[in-house]
Amino acid sequence: MSDYTLGIKELDDAIGGIKKGSNIMLIGPPMSGKEAILNYIVYHGAAKNENAVITVTTRESAAHILEWFKENKLILPMPRIGIVDCVTKTLGGAAVESENIKIASSPVDLTGIGVKISQFFEEFYMKKNTRKIQLHINSLSTILMYSNIQTVFRFLHVFTGRIKAAGAIGIYVIDSGMHDEQAIATLKQLFDGMIEIKSENDKNYIRVIGLSPKPTPWFEYEIEGANVKIVRGM
């Protein structure tokens, strides 16, 4: 049984769990429920697998994210949650750091974002002795709006390497259709697999590539509140 699972039973069964050290792209069109899927993975990792969970958020503030979990009655084990908030300061908001929230000054400040990620890693790994850590970045697309592909590649090169060294996993969200093929291909070099989402005829489908010998089949899914439900396999 692997230390890392997505929490979506059909997918986990199909890929047999995620190996530690894996870096995974979560790619799909806008408004396909990627946010909900990511939150689901986060919740499952922290609450069910008891992993430490670090989320870098470039679109929603940390407070907003924590609100979402509360509203959906999902209780997060706070000692294992770390959020790097790249949003609040850019909106001119008063940003206060806490045990669970670190503030980065903008999505451009990759150095600063890197520092906060490292600090969370240190806190979970060394101080709290949690060896299983999940890093999520939502989203690389926002970061790519401010920095060019080489810059982001260098940043990811460092942190995907750190994920491997620490035996953690990383999940990175990208909006398909926002970037050219070349850019996605460049980034793909750094990843071990992809969680791919597509929309067809108003239905959403999900599959995983690269983490198992063959790609999984496409599964149709629906988002119900905070739940990701597989409706049927394709």
Q: Pick out residues in 182-221 that bind other proteins (CB under 8 A).
A: none
- Distance from the first to the final alpha carbon of the chain: 26
Does the protein bind other proteins through residue 108 (CB under 8 A)? Answer: yes
Does the protein bind other proteins through residue 90 (CB under 8 A)? Answer: yes
Q: Helices in 23-148 by DSSP H: which ranges?
A: 34-43, 62-71, 110-122, 140-146
Nearer to other proteins, 40 or 155 (CB): 155
Nearer to other proteins, 68 or 125 (CB): 125
Q: Pick out residues in 47-86 that bind other proteins (CB under 8 A).
A: none
Contact assessment for residue 169 and residue 24, using Cβ atoms and an 8 Å cutoff: yes
User: Total binding residues for other proteins by CB under 8 A?
Assistant: 31
- Determine the interface stretch with other proteins among 111-119, 171-179, 204-212, 217-225 (rule: CB under 8 A): 111-119
Is the bond into 98 cis (omega within 30 degrees of 0)? no
Distance CA 178, CA 145 (A): 9
The size of the chain, in residues, is 234
Does the protein bind other proteins through residue 118 (CB under 8 A)? Answer: yes
* DSSP track, 193-217: EEEEEEEETTEEEEEEESSSSSPPP
Structure-token pair, residue 69:
């979990």
Rounded to a whole number of angstroms, the minimum distance from the CB of residue 174 to other proteins is: 19
Nearer to other proteins, 167 or 210 (CB): 167
Nearer to other proteins, 119 or 212 (CB): 119
Rounded to a whole number of angstroms, the minimum distance from the CB of residue 9 to other proteins is: 31
Contact assessment for residue 48 and residue 197, using Cβ atoms and an 8 Å cutoff: no
**67-78 burial, b if ≥16 CB within 10 A, otherwise e?**
eebeeeebebee
Rounded to a whole number of angstroms, the minimum distance from the CB of residue 152 to other proteins is: 9
Rounded to a whole number of angstroms, the minimum distance from the CB of residue 191 to other proteins is: 17
Site track for other proteins across 158-177, x = CB under 8 A: x---x--xxx----------
Contact assessment for residue 19 and residue 100, using Cβ atoms and an 8 Å cutoff: no
Does the protein bind other proteins through residue 105 (CB under 8 A)? Answer: yes
Contact assessment for residue 141 and residue 74, using Cβ atoms and an 8 Å cutoff: no
**Which member of 4, 40, 121, 172 binds other proteins (CB under 8 A)?**
121
Residue ranges that bind other proteins, judged by CB under 8 A: 89-90, 105-106, 108-112, 114-115, 117-119, 121-122, 125-126, 146-148, 150-151, 154-155, 157-158, 162, 165-167
